[in-house]
Amino acid sequence: MATDNSVLVIGAGVFGLTAARELQQRGYRVTVADPGPVPHPLAASNDLSRMVRMDYGGDGLYSSLGADAIDGWHRWNTNWGRELYHEDGFLLMSSVPMAVGSFEQDSYSLLTGRGFPLEKLAPGDLANKYPRWNSGHYIDGYFNPRAGWAEAGEITASLALDAQNSGVSIVTGFTASGLLQEGNKVVGAVSSDGTELRAEWVVVAAGVWTPILLPELSDRMWPVGQPIFYFKPQDPDAYRAPSFPPWGADIPRSGWYGFPANSEGVFKMANHGRGTRVHADAERVISPEQEAHCREFLAQSLPSLASLPFHGTKMCLYCDTWDGDFWIARDPERHGLVVVTGGSGHAFKFAPVLGGLAADALEGVENAYSERFAWRAMGEIKSEDIRYTGE
Ligand SMILES: Cc1cc2nc3c(=O)[nH]c(=O)nc-3n(C[C@H](O)[C@H](O)[C@H](O)COP(=O)(O)OP(=O)(O)OC[C@H]3O[C@@H](n4cnc5c(N)ncnc54)[C@H](O)[C@@H]3O)c2cc1C
């Protein structure tokens, strides 16, 4: 590999593939390396569904990024010639009145202030429009029609194809075990079998495996396990939009969210909580307590599913940063190294705009997000600092 404008991207998840494609389009010669297959079975970017929304409480920055991303999802659907992003909306329910300072009210105020036509739930709306939900429990909330869900695994596969079609080379069977360095410059990576890939720039996009490759970052980002539950109801249409859009139920307090049944009739729900800190290669199973927690929620909120057997369960790993913000930045100390990761359980929705942010970081171009996603020291975590960003 020549070392002029070449880039080696380590990891073919949504961060790596979008960075690769954008950099190729900006004139670099890009190779992506991954153990494979792509999408990798353990990658966070590989699942049935991911939530897409711009509802981010009072956080105007993520909200703007979300709005741009949704425009991008529509463009991608058109380019793919098939709908992999489904704009079914987002139903946010609350068992307490939405109060100023809450995630729900702040999202509502910010988005309506920006001109988005959200539909506040009036008394009776939940029972009439979304009858599967326990309307005795959820007394407030709103519906945002400009949101939806993305078929994550299919999309990651399509991004890999798009990248290859734009000239990116994807090398599978390569598990980077270390970076190659000459003096103060990173010049490539070596795999566990001794194969070397060299490039002018190395972009590490290895998700939860990033702190294994870069242990110096392990005090600022780490893998956290979160449970996912799948069901196969007999009447899947009852769990599809418009009467059953993507949803969050008391989400800043309970963490529960989920999706309509997909084309195979599979209904998925998950919990976005503090999760459990685990090793990246930990066994991906959930505990009986997590199963019981799910059952308890269903009995209270969605009783029609309360006794349905699980179609499947799994633990999925977030790469959490200490402050919940992404990490899209150049190493300030070593030349030639860029890190794009730290999805913190909410990055997939931004796929259409992530590549541009990564390429800007490599080129040293400042944008509205550079500071928030910068290479940063570990700060002090106070409980009030732990912002709810959602899934
Ligand atoms: C349970 C769960 C639910 C989520 N829900 C949502 C949601 O609803 N909405 C949303 O926006 N986001 C959501 N997210 C977050 C989102 O999925 C992630 O932020 C995003 O997919 C992370 O992408 P990534 O490219 O960083 O990592 P990954 O997709 O994990 O990709 C990393 C890649 O690196 C490769 N790799 C690892 N080690 C090496 C190595 N040594 N050498 C080479 N390659 C390597 C892996 O094989 C993998 O392909 C969720 C995440 C989880 C886990």
382 pLDDT more than 90:
no
Q: What is the pLDDT of residues 10-58, one digit of tens each?
A: 999 999 999 999 999 999 999 999 999 999 999 999 999 999 999 999 9
1 pLDDT more than 70:
no
Q: Which residues in 307-325 are b (16+ Cβ under 10 Å) and which e?
A: eeeeeebebbbbbbbbbbb
Query: Which ligand 1 atom lies nearest to the CA of residue 149?
Result: 8
For residue 146 and ligand 1, the question of a CB distance below 6 A is answered with: no
Hey, whose CA ends up nearest to atom 21 of ligand 1? Answer: 45
**pLDDT score at 275:** 83
> By percentage, how much of the chain surpasses pLDDT 90?
94
The average pLDDT across 175-198 equals 97
Q: How many CB atoms lie within 10 A of CB 379?
A: 10
**pLDDT score at 380:** 67
**pLDDT score at 5:** 95
Q: What is the pLDDT of residues 333-351, one digit of tens each?
A: 999 999 999 999 999 999 9
> By percentage, how much of the chain surpasses pLDDT 70?
96
**pLDDT score at 273:** 85
**pLDDT score at 388:** 56
Domains in the chain, CATH or no CATH each: 6-45+153-220+322-385 (3.50.50.60), 84-148+222-321 (3.30.9.10)
For residue 159 and ligand 1, the question of a CB distance below 6 A is answered with: no
Query: Which ligand 1 atom lies nearest to the CA of residue 348?
Result: 11
**pLDDT score at 4:** 77
Q: What angle do CA 353, 359, 361 make, to 5 degrees?
A: 105
**pLDDT score at 35:** 98
For residue 157 and ligand 1, the question of a CB distance below 6 A is answered with: no
Across all residues in the chain, what is the average pLDDT?
Answer: 95
**pLDDT score at 51:** 98
The average pLDDT across 197-216 equals 98
Q: pLDDT tier at 176 (50, 70, 90 boundaries)?
A: very high
Backbone phi and psi for residue 44, each to the nearest 5 degrees, phi listed first? -65, -25
Q: What is the pLDDT of residues 99-156, one digit of tens each?
A: 999 999 999 999 999 999 999 999 999 999 999 999 999 999 999 999 999 999 999 9
For residue 40 and ligand 1, the question of a CB distance below 6 A is answered with: yes
Cβ-proximal residues to 131 (8 Å cutoff; 6+ apart), any chain: 243
Query: Are 388 and 326 spatial neighbours (Cβ–Cβ below 8 Å)?
Result: no
Instruction: Provide the edge-to-edge strand list for the sheet that holds 50-52.
Output: 50-52, 148-150, 85-86
State how far the Cα of 8 lies from the Cα of 197, in Å rounded to an integer: 8
Query: Which ligand 1 atom lies nearest to the CA of residue 36?
Result: 47
**pLDDT score at 2:** 42
The average pLDDT across 246-273 equals 96
For residue 197 and ligand 1, the question of a CB distance below 6 A is answered with: no
For residue 14 and ligand 1, the question of a CB distance below 6 A is answered with: yes
**pLDDT score at 210:** 98
